[in-house]
């Protein structure tokens, strides 16, 4: 297991072979770490990749073509797998995970998942995460995939998280759903209106008391964390993702912006994998690219 680094005049980026996880974006101008430190007393991850599931499946079991498979871990298995680093250039790091016999016991598809972290040409403060999913099998492949980056918030010891804002550019109202506190699964038939002040929502200390806010139906292509004076702190571009989760822990000095293709099971779901909300279908021998961008504004 190793870590790999790329840097430019503004940012130094570190990616770990374990989970192909982005573990650090160090802002060289401010001397401040932008990615959550993975404090095990609060939340022990930085920016895990969620594959081939987002969230949990009911009872730790899912069904595919009449057969049951166990998936006891939340968010699949990629976040805990050892990836192979296949390329490091001046501005990118690429990892690869290939299915093996042990994986096929719990996920019966022959795949290659490639993960690239790269600086965006023309904007040295923007980092793109690119996933390429390849179906090496002879039948249709079904999967979900998502990001879970945790951003250190606030940016200084003099500030507190509840002084910061979520910004939804161009939006005045949104709707979100929650997971049931009793079951831990989604309740999509109950939605909650979210009224905004010019597109802004304060990150109140109780905002995540009921777990993640889940925005569905491609409501968001851009979301931002803004500083107390409402200047940009982190901007995520996530067009093409039908769901976005926003999450933290009440005691956490971080906020996660999570673009998802797929999500946690609906409460009471007993259907086949192909019926799961947001599941992706990939033809035999095909590949598909998904990506999102994070801009780390000067502060």
**Rounded CA separation 135/119 (Å):** 27
Domain that holds residue 175: 3-296
Q: 104 pLDDT exceeds 90?
A: yes
Return the structure tokens found at 192: 């909650």
Q: Averaged over 240-263, what is the pLDDT?
A: 96
**Rounded CA separation 2/122 (Å):** 29
**pLDDT one-digit tens code per residue, 141-181:** 999 999 999 999 998 888 999 999 999 999 999 999 999 98
- How many helices, marked H, and strands, marked E, lie in the chain? 1, 25
CA dihedral 181, 168, 295, 227 (to 10 degrees): -90
Give the predicted TM-score (pTM) of the model: 0.96
How much of the chain exceeds pLDDT 90, in percent?
A: 96
Please report which confidence band the pLDDT of residue 270 belongs to, taking 50, 70 and 90 as the band edges: very high
Domain count, the chain: 1
Residue pair 248/152 in contact (Cβ under 8 Å)? The answer is no
Prior bond to 154 cis, omega within 30?
yes
Q: 1 pLDDT exceeds 80?
A: no
Separation of CA 85 from chain center:
20
Return the structure tokens found at 49: 């990749």
Report the CATH number that the domain containing residue 280 is assigned in CATH. Answer: 2.70.98.10
How much of the chain exceeds pLDDT 70, in percent?
A: 100
Q: What is the pLDDT of residue 251?
A: 87
Please report which confidence band the pLDDT of residue 299 belongs to, taking 50, 70 and 90 as the band edges: confident
Question: Which phi and psi angles does 101 have, rounded to 5°?
Answer: -60, -40
Radius of gyration of the chain (CA): 19
Separation of CA 10 from chain center:
23
Question: Which phi and psi angles does 78 have, rounded to 5°?
Answer: -65, -35
Using left for φ > 0, alpha for ψ between -120 and 50, and beta otherwise, residue 84 falls in beta
Q: What is the pLDDT of residue 241?
A: 98
């Amino acid at each position: 297991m190793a870590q790999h680094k790329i840097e430019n005049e503004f940012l130094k980026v570190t990616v770990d072979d374990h989970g192909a996880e982005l573990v650090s974006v160090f802002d060289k101008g401010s001397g401040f770490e932008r990615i959550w430190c993975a404090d095990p007393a609060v939340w022990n991850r930085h920016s895990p990749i969620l594959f081939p599931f987002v969230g949990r499946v009911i009872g730790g079991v899912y069904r595919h073509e009449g057969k049951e498979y166990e998936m006891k871990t939340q968010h699949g298995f990629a976040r805990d797998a050892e990836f192979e680093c296949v390329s490091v250039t001046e501005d990118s790091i690429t990892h690869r995970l290939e299915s093996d016999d042990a994986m096929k016991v719990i996920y019966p598809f022959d795949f290659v998942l490639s993960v690239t972290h790269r600086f965006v040409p023309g904007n040295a403060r923007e980092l793109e995460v690119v996933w390429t999913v390849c179906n090496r099998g002879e039948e249709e492949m079904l999967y979900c995939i998502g990001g879970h980056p945790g951003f250190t918030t606030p940016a200084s010891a003099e500030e507190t998280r509840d002084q910061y804002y979520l910004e939804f550019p161009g939006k005045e109202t949104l709707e979100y759903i929650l997971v049931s506190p009793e079951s831990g699964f989604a309740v999509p038939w109950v939605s909650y209106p979210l009224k905004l002040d010019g597109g802004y929502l304060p990150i109140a200390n109780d905002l995540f008391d009921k777990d993640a806010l889940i925005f569905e139906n491609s409501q968001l292509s851009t979301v931002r964390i803004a500083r107390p004076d409402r200047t940009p702190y982190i901007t995520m571009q996530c067009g093409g993702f039908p769901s976005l989760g926003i999450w933290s822990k009440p005691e956490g000095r971080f906020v996660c912006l999570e673009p998802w293709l797929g999500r946690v099971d609906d409460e009471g779901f007993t259907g086949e994998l192909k019926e799961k909300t947001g599941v992706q279908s990939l033809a035999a021998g095909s590949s598909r690219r998904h990506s999102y961008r994070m801009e780390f504004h000067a502060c």
